[in-house]
Chains A and B, each alone.
Chain A
Amino acid sequence: DAGITQSPRHKVTETGTPVTLRCHQTENHRYMYWYRQDPGHGLRLIHYSYGVKDTDKGEVSDGYSVSRSKTEDFLLTLESATSSQTSVYFCAISEPYNEQFFGPGTRLTVL
């Protein structure tokens, strides 16, 4: 597997609290992505990054923000978590025109 880790792997939080998920890669890949996976919806793109400080929205970006201050780190922040954001979150990395490599995922529960 590609060198990609996510932290935390599991988190339970309460509605209204801020949450930050971290994705770290050791592959020096240019592109990084955040997806959420929910039953019946497959993988949906939240945000992605095409370089340091360069990010763009995906199809389900409302309620989420991201930052990429270094090539290896891509942070996903839920400013005020809601129960609808309970999901499994996957980070992925890729080089241009190539396949994506996924991290192990973070299971987030918002009570």
Chain B
Amino acid sequence: GQQVMQIPQYQHVQEGEDFTTYCNSSTTLSNIQWYKQRPGGHPVFLIQLVKSGEVKKQKRLTFQFGEAKKNSSLHITATQTTDVGTYFCAGPAQGGSEKLVFGKGTKLTVNP
């Protein structure tokens, strides 16, 4: 079945270092969404990418959607302690339904 894979599963950085998480789908995606979940919290939507090769920025966060629309990345420049949490990517399930298939997430910890 359709799979969305994320690497790494865990990442520990020193504050100020950069961080990148990668998302790979077994199928071509019409779009990809990214969510952040703070410790003890619920997932919160960050962004949606739709176009092949699309790049979007939100302050220190840069999101990319691959040319083949099967992979995506989230890059954080100069991490801060407020970036701590788990980052999930998600793509629409096959068949064009409103269901999302989530990656297992990358848990980021930041050492001050």
Q: Assess whether A100 is in contact with B100, with CB atoms less than 8 Å apart.
A: yes
Binary interface profile of B, 38-53, with partner A (CB < 8 Å = 1, else 0)? 0001111100100000
- Please encode chain B, from 98 to 109, with 1 for each CB lying within 8 Å of some chain A CB and 0 for all others: 111011110000
B40 nearest in chain A by CB position: A105
Given A94-B98, A96-B98, A99-B33, residue A42 in contact with residue B105 (CB < 8 A): yes
- Main secondary structure, interface of A, reads strand
Question: Contact between B45 and A100 (Cβ–Cβ < 8 Å)?
Answer: yes
Contact status A42-B103, CB under 8 Å: yes
Knowing A99-B45, A104-B42 are in contact, say whether A48-B98 is a contact too (CB < 8 A).
Answer: yes
Q: Give the interface size bracket for A toward B.
A: 20 to 34
A85 and B33 alpha carbons, distance in the complex (Å): 27
**B88 sits at the interface (CB 8 A):** yes
Chain B residues whose CB sits within 8 angstroms of the CB of A58 once the complex forms: 99
Residues in B whose Cβ lies below 8 Å from that of A103: 42
Docked complex Cα distance between A33 and B97 (Å):
13
Chain A residues with CB under 8 A of B48? 99
Contact B98 A50 (CB under 8 A): yes
Seed contacts A43-B90, A92-B43, A97-B98; 5 additional CB < 8 Å A-B pairs: A40-B104, A94-B98, A99-B33, A100-B33, A102-B42
